[in-house]
Amino acid sequence: MTKVQLFIPCFIDQLYPETGFNTVKILEKAGCEVHYNSNQTCCGQPAFNSGYWNESRQLAIKFLHDFEEDIPIVSPSGSCSGFIINDYPSLFKNQPEQLQRHTQVSRNMYELSDFLVNVLHITDLGATFPHKVTFHDSCSALREYGIKTEPRELLSHVKGLELIEMNESEVCCGFGGTFSIKNTEISSAMVANKVRNGVESGAEYIVTTEASCAMNIAGYCRKNMVPLKVIHLADILAQFET
């Protein structure tokens, strides 16, 4: 049995806890022994992106010491995982001890679909989801962490699911953390375009690996009464009989 540590991002912890529980369900189905450190907090990405590097550094140090460095850390977020792997070194330029620990931890940091497909070599969890779906490639998951084929490979093995590629699947949904607040009009136009492409695909659901994207897209759909649902990848993969 593979021992793993679970890291739950802020958006999932605060807004989509069921996705966190479904991640545990998936990992256990995949034969993992899941450990969750309840002392874990934010990885520091929001503060980092807003320029508060000292505050982000404090959270990053806490993260590095909340998790064991030689056991896989799995998270249902490419955004947070990518930030931890790629941006922590910027925070620790003059802290060799933290840099060394980050080197060890980052080798074991995984987004969920990457871990399932490329580490455990599992693509079929026995899930059933009889709906037409389209996939939104989150900016951070695609460009910072580097996943694209993995979520689609997992979706292709879900019974009853029809995956339809929408136009501009790799284009940003307009969230971008504080970008959506500081640049509201641009952000609104971007999410409107994303939803329009989703509707035109004929899908019932937009699937994503990022809870922040899901929140942004779903919020637009609710506000504008668009009959398009948004769902996290983990919430589909967990649709199997126990």
Query: What DSSP assignment string belongs to 32-95?
Result: EEEE--TT----SHHHHHTT-HHHHHHHHHHHHHHS-TTS-EEES-HHHHHHHHHHHHHHTTT-
pLDDT on residue 180: 78
132-237 maps to which CATH number? 3.40.50
pLDDT on residue 141: 95
> What's the whole-model pTM score?
0.95
pLDDT on residue 203: 98
pLDDT on residue 190: 94
Phi, psi (rounded to 5 degrees) for 218: -65, -35
pLDDT on residue 175: 87
Q: Which residues of the chain have pLDDT under 50?
A: none
Phi, psi (rounded to 5 degrees) for 133: -130, 155
